[in-house]
C-alpha cells in the first residue's frame, strides 16, 4: 500500500532525526531502518528537504494525537491536564535517558537560520502547538483557575518556549531537573488564579 | 605570536559555528576565515572535537566579559541590570536578523545527545552562566527587590533555560516577540518582590 510505505519512511525518519538532527541523518539510513528500497523514496518526496518539511507536519500530528488523551480529558481540571502532560513527558524522557528533546524545537534550532522554507513551516508548527495550549488556558480562565488579567495566548507562548529551553538543558545535564524546575516555576508563578 | 594565532582560530570558529552549528562547519572553513595555514591548527588543537571543547570555554569567557559591564554596574539596582542585559541582547539579535541564538544553548541542543565529552563541558558552561545570575538574584533578594521565599538558584536556572527556549522560537519566527514575551513573564511573574 502506497500510504503505508510513505508512513514507514516518515516514522523511521522521525525516530532517527529526532535523535540525530536533520543534517546528521542520511536518506539511505532512513530507508534502511524503514526496510524500503531507495527508489521508492522519490515516489513520495521530491528530495530530502521536501521530506523534512513533510516530517514537520508528521511531528505536529503526532504531538496533537499524543497529547489529546490527556489534554481533552474532561474529568480533570484544565490546568491539571497541562501539568499531567508535562509529567508524562518527564517519564517519557526518563525512559529515553534524557535524550531527544522536542523534534520541533530541535529543527527550529538546527534549521531556523539555514532554510527559509523550514523556518516558515516551523513557525506554523510552533503556532499549532501554542494554539492547543492557548485554548486550554482560555478554558481554565473561564473556569476561574487562572487570573482574568493573564493574556492566555502570551502565556501559552511562554509555556511552550520555556519548555523548549528546559529540554535543551535536560540534554546537557542528562537528568529531569530542568523539566521539574520548569513545571515548578510555571505553576507556582505563571499559571495561577 | 602563538597565542594570537590560536585566538584568531577560536574567534573565526566562534563566529561560523555560532551561525551554522558544529557539524556543519569544517576546519578548513574556519582556517580560511582566520587566514591561518592548515598545519598550524594542530599546534593548538588535537582534533576538531578538542577545538569544539575549547570553544565552549571561549564562549563562556566571552559571555562573562560581555555581560560584566551591565551586570556589575553598581549604579543600577540588580534586577534592572538583568533586564537591561536581556534588552541589550534583543538589540544585538535585531542587528543579526534574529539568527545565531546562544552558542552554548545551540551546542547543548546539537551535541548533548551525541558526545559525552561535549555534554559534560556544556553542563559546566551552563552552570557558570547560571552562577553569574544566581549571585545577582541573591543580591537583589538581600536588597529587598525579590521575595525572600524565592530560591534564587532555581530562579536563575529557570531564567536561563527559558531564555534559551525563547531564542529557539526567535529563530523560527525571525522576530523579537519570543524574547520580549520572555522578559515580560520573567519580570511580571517570577522576579518580583
Per-residue pLDDT tens over the stretch B101-152? 999 998 988 888 888 999 999 999 999 999 999 999 999 999 999 999 999 9
Whether A41 and A75 map to the same domain: the answer is no
Closest Cβ–Cβ partner in B24, B108, B177 for A168 = B108
Neighbours of A125 (CB within 10 A): 22
Q: Say whether residue A153 is in contact with chain B using an 8 A CB cutoff.
A: no
The C-alpha atoms of residue B46 and residue B48 are separated, in whole angstroms, by 7
Chain A contacts of B100, Cβ < 8 Å?
Answer: 113
Whether B53 and B73 map to the same domain: the answer is yes
Whether B104 and B36 map to the same domain: the answer is no
Predicted pLDDT of residue B111: 87
A72 contact partners, CB below 8 Å, separation of at least 6: A81
Predicted pLDDT of residue A25: 92
Predicted pLDDT of residue A187: 97
Predicted pLDDT of residue A20: 87
DSSP letters along A86-110, please?
HHHHHHHHHHTTT----HHHHHHHH
How far does A191 lie from chain B, in Å, by closest CA?
Answer: 9
Q: What is the CA radius of gyration of chain A?
A: 18
pTM for the whole structure: 0.93
Closest Cβ–Cβ partner in B110, B126, B165 for A164 = B165
Whether B40 and B79 map to the same domain: the answer is no
If you ran DSSP here, which 8-state letter would residue B112 be given? T
Q: Are A171 and B119 in contact (CB under 8 A)?
A: yes
Whether B36 and B123 map to the same domain: the answer is no
Whether B181 and B120 map to the same domain: the answer is yes
Predicted pLDDT of residue A19: 87
CATH (domain of B23): 1.10.10.60
Whether B2 and B90 map to the same domain: the answer is no
The C-alpha atoms of residue B14 and residue B46 are separated, in whole angstroms, by 17
The CA–CA distances, whole Å, from B179 to A133, A165, B109, B110, B174 equal 19, 12, 19, 21, 11
Whether B93 and B76 map to the same domain: the answer is yes
| Beta carbons of B171 and A108 less than 8 Å apart | yes
Number of helical H runs and strand E runs in chain A: 9, 0
Mean pLDDT confidence for B36-56: 92
Q: Say whether residue B182 is in contact with chain A using an 8 A CB cutoff.
A: yes
If you ran DSSP here, which 8-state letter would residue A113 be given? T
B185 contact partners, CB below 8 Å, separation of at least 6: A154, A155, A158, A162, A190, B162
- Asked whether the CA dihedral B127, A174, B165, A25 is positive or negative, the reply is positive
Q: Are A126 and A103 in contact (CB under 8 A)?
A: no
Tens digits of pLDDT across chain A (193 residues): 455 899 999 999 999 999 888 988 999 999 999 999 888 899 999 999 999 999 999 999 999 999 999 999 999 999 999 999 999 999 999 999 999 899 999 898 888 888 899 999 999 999 999 999 999 999 999 999 999 999 999 999 999 999 999 999 999 999 999 999 999 999 999 999 9
Whether B64 and B115 map to the same domain: the answer is yes
Whether A56 and A94 map to the same domain: the answer is yes
Q: How many domains does chain A have?
A: 2
The CA–CA distances, whole Å, from A46 to A43, A49, A54 equal 8, 8, 11
Whether B35 and B54 map to the same domain: the answer is no
Closest Cβ–Cβ partner in A24, A109, A126 for B106 = A109
Q: Say whether residue A96 is in contact with chain B using an 8 A CB cutoff.
A: no
Whether A121 and A176 map to the same domain: the answer is yes
Range of the domain at B78: 49-190
A148 contact partners, CB below 8 Å, separation of at least 6: A141
Provide the 3-class DSSP secondary structure of residue A25: coil
Q: What is the ipTM of this complex?
A: 0.93
| Mean pLDDT, chain B, whole residue set | 93
CATH (domain of A60): 1.10.357.10
Closest Cβ–Cβ partner in A158, A168, A173 for B105 = A168
| Beta carbons of B113 and A99 less than 8 Å apart | yes
Predicted pLDDT of residue B1: 46
Q: Say whether residue A155 is in contact with chain B using an 8 A CB cutoff.
A: yes
Closest CA to A77 of A130, A129, A141: A141
Amino acid at each position: 500500500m502506497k500510504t503505508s510505505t510513505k508512513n514507514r519512511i516518515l516514522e523511521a525518519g522521525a525516530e532517527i532525526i529526532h535523535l540525530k538532527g536533520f543534517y546528521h541523518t542520511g536518506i539511505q539510513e532512513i530507508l534502511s531502518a524503514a526496510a524500503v528500497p531507495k527508489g521508492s523514496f522519490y515516489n513520495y518526496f521530491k528530495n530530502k528537504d521536501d521530506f523534512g518539511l513533510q516530517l514537520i507536519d508528521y511531528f505536529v500530528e503526532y504531538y496533537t494525537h499524543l497529547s489529546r488523551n490527556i489534554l481533552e480529558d474532561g474529568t480533570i481540571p484544565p490546568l491539571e491536564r497541562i501539568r499531567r502532560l508535562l509529567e508524562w513527558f518527564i517519564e517519557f524522557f526518563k525512559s529515553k535517558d534524557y535524550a531527544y528533546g522536542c523534534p520541533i524545537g530541535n529543527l527550529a534550532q538546527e534549521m531556523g537560520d539555514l532554510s527559509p522554507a523550514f523556518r516558515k513551516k516551523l513557525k506554523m508548527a510552533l503556532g499549532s502547538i501554542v494554539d492547543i495550549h492557548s485554548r486550554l488556558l482560555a478554558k481554565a480562565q473561564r473556569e476561574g483557575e487562572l487570573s482574568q488579567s493573564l493574556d492566555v495566548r502570551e502565556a501559552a507562548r511562554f509555556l511552550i518556549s520555556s519548555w523548549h529551553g528546559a529540554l535543551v538543558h535536560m540534554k546537557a545535564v542528562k537528568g529531569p531537573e530542568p523539566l521539574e524546575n520548569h513545571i515548578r516555576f510555571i505553576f507556582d508563578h505563571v499559571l495561577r488564579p
